[in-house]
Amino acid sequence: MSLGKLVYKYLYAPTASIRYNLHHFGIKGWYAYKNGEKQMKTAAINLPAISLQNSGDVPVISYLTGEKYWHQTIFGIQSLVNHYGNNIGIDIYSDGSLAPPIIETLKNYCPQITITTEAQIMENLNAIIPADKYPSLNFLRDWSPFFKRMIDIHCKMQWAIHLDSDMLFFKCPDDLTDFSKQKKAFFMQEQMSASYFVDDSDVLLKKYDIPTLQNVNGGIIAYDGSVVDYPRLEHIAKLLLENYFHQGPARIEQTLMSYILAMQNGTPLNKTDYKIYYDSAVDDNDNATLRHYIFKAKLPYFSAEWKTISH
């Protein structure tokens, strides 16, 4: 192995996260970030247990989580139950790192949470998108955890909704629950100017016959997996891998999600009610139903925002 590759493997790659955080938050901000997350984990373990009724035709909210995100998932659920009530279902999917101690913590917090195991996921996927017939979709799942939202949660013969864990509710999500009762496709709106596709939407449509919806953010996605054309989805996945592999998993997933939503006439959630924060300035008076914290907004999320969630 060359000197350059050795330096990358043993010095550059292992310190990537540290360098990213120092660049974005500085030493003081990074300390506040890490200390706040540590406090959040301790608080999540010690939250009073909640009980879900889950009776009748109620929304079932799915989360993909694991070792790095379980505490965020718990506070996301707590904030939802605070404003919606407990007549709701919660289904947890492993991102590959949901070890037994984490499962025990989740079940202690809420015994009615459903844990969808890796074995159950694979049984379902083997029935719907077996690897011999859908090699591209199965490759995507193995390539990056990004695709487990789309594949593990949504590749089933029913309507499903997933929420990312780094979100907090501050009001009752009436429109979200109304859409859920209608089994309607909907999505969170990306609030930056550009959509994170592999290419311009006109190019995707004219060159590859891939229709898309603009400004899809993967934080909240809902659609009916029973009406997805999986052979067509496999074909599109193959096209994207052949022509846009260099764009990376996040853009490929966003493109595929947007295609599925376009085929089901997905409705965007109001972007002022379902707010995405990208930097460290959070407007306490935004009157938002939900806040989604990404990039630099992780600092206020870990240092302050989760502490506002009552229990």
What is the pLDDT, as a whole number, of residue 12?
A: 54
Residue with tokens 């799942």: 141
pLDDT bin (cut points 50, 70, 90) of residue 11 is low
Indicate the DSSP class of residue 310.
Answer: -
Structure tokens at 7: 């330096």
Say if CB 190 and CB 219 are below 8 A apart: no
What is the pLDDT, as a whole number, of residue 3?
A: 61
45-308 sits in which CATH class?
alpha beta
pLDDT bin (cut points 50, 70, 90) of residue 192 is confident
Beta bridge mates, 233: none
The closest alpha carbon to 188, from 297, 288, 306, 89, belongs to 288
Q: Is the pLDDT of residue 259 over 70?
A: yes
pLDDT in tens, 113-140: 999 988 899 999 999 999 999 999 999 9
Burial bucket for residue 152 (CB in 10 Å: 0-12, 13-18, 19+): buried
